[in-house]
Protein backbone atom coordinates (compact mmCIF):
# COMPACT_ATOMS: atom_id res chain seq x y z
CA UNK A 1 0.00 0.00 0.00
CA UNK A 2 2.83 2.40 0.88
CA UNK A 3 4.44 1.87 -2.53
CA UNK A 4 1.14 2.59 -4.29
CA UNK A 5 0.74 5.85 -2.40
CA UNK A 6 4.30 6.92 -3.24
CA UNK A 7 3.76 5.92 -6.88
CA UNK A 8 0.52 7.87 -7.29
CA UNK A 9 1.76 10.98 -5.49
CA UNK A 10 4.98 11.05 -7.54
CA UNK A 11 3.16 10.23 -10.78
CA UNK A 12 0.45 12.83 -10.36
CA UNK A 13 2.97 15.56 -9.47
CA UNK A 14 5.15 14.45 -12.39
CA UNK A 15 2.15 14.57 -14.73
CA UNK A 16 1.16 18.01 -13.44
CA UNK A 17 4.69 19.33 -13.92
CA UNK A 18 5.08 17.87 -17.40
CA UNK A 19 1.63 18.96 -18.56
CA UNK A 20 2.04 22.51 -17.27
CA UNK A 21 5.50 22.96 -18.78
CA UNK A 22 4.49 21.11 -21.94
CA UNK A 23 1.49 23.38 -22.54
CA UNK A 24 3.60 26.45 -21.81
CA UNK A 25 6.16 25.25 -24.35
CA UNK A 26 3.46 24.59 -26.96
CA UNK A 27 2.14 28.10 -26.46
CA UNK A 28 5.61 29.63 -26.73
CA UNK A 29 4.21 32.86 -28.12
CA UNK A 30 2.25 33.36 -24.91
CA UNK A 31 5.16 32.50 -22.62
CA UNK A 32 6.63 35.13 -20.38
CA UNK A 33 9.59 36.70 -22.19
CA UNK A 34 11.90 35.05 -19.67
CA UNK A 35 11.21 31.57 -21.08
CA UNK A 36 12.43 32.44 -24.56
CA UNK A 37 15.36 34.32 -23.05
CA UNK A 38 16.22 31.18 -21.04
CA UNK A 39 16.15 28.99 -24.16
CA UNK A 40 18.49 31.44 -25.88
CA UNK A 41 20.68 31.62 -22.75
CA UNK A 42 21.01 27.81 -22.80
CA UNK A 43 21.92 27.92 -26.49
CA UNK A 44 18.75 26.37 -27.90
CA UNK A 45 16.52 27.66 -30.70
CA UNK A 46 12.97 28.70 -29.81
CA UNK A 47 11.47 26.10 -32.15
CA UNK A 48 12.73 23.35 -29.83
CA UNK A 49 10.01 24.39 -27.35
CA UNK A 50 7.32 22.94 -29.62
CA UNK A 51 9.02 19.54 -29.83
CA UNK A 52 9.66 19.38 -26.08
CA UNK A 53 6.05 20.36 -25.35
CA UNK A 54 4.67 17.63 -27.63
CA UNK A 55 6.98 14.99 -26.15
CA UNK A 56 6.01 15.93 -22.59
CA UNK A 57 2.26 15.76 -23.27
CA UNK A 58 2.55 12.43 -25.09
CA UNK A 59 4.73 11.10 -22.28
CA UNK A 60 2.14 12.01 -19.66
CA UNK A 61 -0.56 10.20 -21.64
CA UNK A 62 1.69 7.12 -21.92
CA UNK A 63 2.48 7.08 -18.21
CA UNK A 64 -1.11 7.54 -17.07
CA UNK A 65 -3.02 5.18 -19.37
CA UNK A 66 -3.37 1.57 -18.26
CA UNK A 67 -1.43 -1.21 -20.00
CA UNK A 68 1.22 -0.58 -22.70
CA UNK A 69 4.25 -1.16 -20.42
CA UNK A 70 6.78 -0.77 -23.26
CA UNK A 71 5.33 2.62 -24.11
CA UNK A 72 5.59 3.60 -20.44
CA UNK A 73 9.28 2.62 -20.38
CA UNK A 74 9.89 4.86 -23.39
CA UNK A 75 8.01 7.73 -21.75
CA UNK A 76 9.99 7.43 -18.52
CA UNK A 77 13.22 7.26 -20.51
CA UNK A 78 12.17 10.36 -22.44
CA UNK A 79 11.38 12.27 -19.25
CA UNK A 80 14.74 11.18 -17.82
CA UNK A 81 16.61 12.36 -20.93
CA UNK A 82 14.76 15.68 -21.10
CA UNK A 83 15.37 16.48 -17.42
CA UNK A 84 19.00 15.35 -17.34
CA UNK A 85 19.55 17.35 -20.52
CA UNK A 86 18.02 20.41 -18.88
CA UNK A 87 20.21 19.96 -15.80
CA UNK A 88 23.34 19.51 -17.87
CA UNK A 89 22.48 22.58 -19.95
CA UNK A 90 22.16 24.72 -16.82
CA UNK A 91 25.45 23.35 -15.46
CA UNK A 92 27.20 23.91 -18.79
CA UNK A 93 26.31 27.61 -18.86
CA UNK A 94 27.13 28.09 -15.17
CA UNK A 95 23.62 28.73 -13.86
CA UNK A 96 23.04 28.79 -10.09
CA UNK A 97 21.36 25.85 -8.34
CA UNK A 98 18.09 27.80 -8.11
CA UNK A 99 17.78 27.63 -11.91
CA UNK A 100 18.17 23.85 -11.76
CA UNK A 101 15.48 23.25 -9.13
CA UNK A 102 12.50 22.67 -11.49
CA UNK A 103 14.37 20.16 -13.66
CA UNK A 104 15.80 18.48 -10.54
CA UNK A 105 12.35 18.09 -9.01
CA UNK A 106 10.89 16.63 -12.21
CA UNK A 107 13.86 14.26 -12.48
CA UNK A 108 13.33 13.03 -8.90
CA UNK A 109 9.59 12.58 -9.56
CA UNK A 110 10.37 10.65 -12.75
CA UNK A 111 12.67 8.28 -10.88
CA UNK A 112 10.22 7.82 -7.98
CA UNK A 113 7.28 7.19 -10.30
CA UNK A 114 9.28 4.68 -12.35
CA UNK A 115 10.71 2.88 -9.32
CA UNK A 116 7.42 2.55 -7.40
CA UNK A 117 5.17 1.73 -10.39
CA UNK A 118 2.93 -1.31 -9.86
CA UNK A 119 3.72 -4.63 -11.52
CA UNK A 120 0.78 -4.08 -13.88
CA UNK A 121 2.65 -1.08 -15.30
CA UNK A 122 6.04 -2.79 -15.62
CA UNK A 123 7.62 -4.43 -18.61
CA UNK A 124 8.05 -8.01 -17.41
CA UNK A 125 10.25 -10.33 -19.39
CA UNK A 126 9.23 -13.97 -19.51
CA UNK A 127 12.13 -16.36 -19.79
CA UNK A 128 11.33 -19.73 -21.36
CA UNK A 129 13.11 -22.63 -19.77
9/112 Cα distance (integer angstroms): 9
Asked if 43 and 89 count as a contact pair (C-beta separation under 8 A), the reply is yes
pLDDT, tens digit (0-9, with 9 covering 90-100), for 15-36: 999 999 898 888 875 666 667 7
pLDDT, tens digit (0-9, with 9 covering 90-100), for 39-96: 888 889 988 888 999 999 999 999 999 989 999 999 999 999 999 999 999 999 999 9
66/34 Cα distance (integer angstroms): 37
Domain-wise residue ranges, the chain: 2-121
pTM (global) more than 0.95 = no
Of 121, 2, 8, 12, the closest CA to residue 67 belongs to 121
Amino acid sequence: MRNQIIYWIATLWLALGMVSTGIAQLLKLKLPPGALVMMHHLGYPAYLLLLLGIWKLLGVVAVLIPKYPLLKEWAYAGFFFIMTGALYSHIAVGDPLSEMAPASLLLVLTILSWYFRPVSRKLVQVIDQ
